[in-house]
Amino acid sequence: MSFESSAASRRKAYRAEKEQNRKVFKHVKIDDSTVEVDKLELPKKRYYRQRAHSNPFSDHQLEYPVSPDLMDWSKLYPHYYDKDTKQMTKDVTIADIGCGFGGLLVDLATAFPDKLALGMEIRVQVTNYVEDRILALRGKHLETQGYQNISVLRGNAMKFLPNFFKKGQLEKMFFCFPDPHFKQRKHKARIITNTLLSDYAYVLREGGIIYTITDVLDLHEWMVKHLEMHPLFERMDQKWESEDKCVEIMTHSTEEGKKVERKKGDKHIACFRRLPNPQIV
């Protein structure tokens, strides 16, 4: 057996084991009564190979609710589901769009223990990795019930964001190191456009914040330009950014951000506040 085929076999076996764990633990409340919780080891990234980018306009055979009222959040946050009332005790208020391997989500879990944060990721294996990572962290922090407040789903925020979130539900949205789509004909696939910003303004409450960070200056200028042009957003100043806890977390927690640091690259940050809707006279 060649080295390549042997590695592929190991990767397949590893993924099969993790998939079985997800079937058992994914939608259940992990607590002291959960059996075999010791199986939940932190995943190894090398077994979750995936292309760096995915075409958001392709048919990805995604599952999404017809409306936010039909979204079953109990499967993602079973710790916050009240079986007596059959209602969630909290709503998701933080969204990490294109969450990658979940570095930001993990840090947000401890920084905001009273908030529910959701990562949305379109790539299959990357989503699986984040799911396995969160389940393992929940299993390792049973005493404190840590990491119950974060979850991830495979979704396309460019198409279906209003299917998941109600009007004004979110208070923070993160866009960390998004695909720059360098070619001009690909700019329509960038995650920040005039049309998409109206969707983001719909799900973001008044006073909520959009956080952006990238190492690509052209993309940074593109995002700033479109956000400044939109009537429902205004840019926060550098003093605010230097004092905001989320900016600090976003700057250092993501895998892409750490890669930029190792290469001694620049990180370009811009944050925008959701303005009140204008009065119709």
DSSP code at position 254: S
Instruction: Identify the CA nearest to 22 among candidates 139, 118, 164.
Output: 139
Binding-site residues, please?
98, 121-122, 156-157, 176, 254-256
User: CA distances (Å), 234 to each of 201, 207, 261, in order?
Assistant: 12, 10, 29
Binding-site residues for S-adenosyl-L-methionine, please?
98, 121-122, 156-157, 176, 254-256
Using DSSP, state whether 194 is helix, strand or coil: helix
Instruction: Identify the CA nearest to 277 among candidates 224, 232, 245.
Output: 232
What phi, psi does 268 have (nearest 5°)? -105, 125
Indicate if 114 belongs to the active site. no
Q: How far apart are CA 173 and CA 204, in angstroms?
A: 8
Burial of 205 (0-12, 13-18, 19+ CB in 10 A): middle
What phi, psi does 68 have (nearest 5°)? -60, -30
Q: How far apart are CA 91 and CA 148, in angstroms?
A: 13
Catalytic site residue from 96, 107, 132, 179: 179
Active site residues: 179
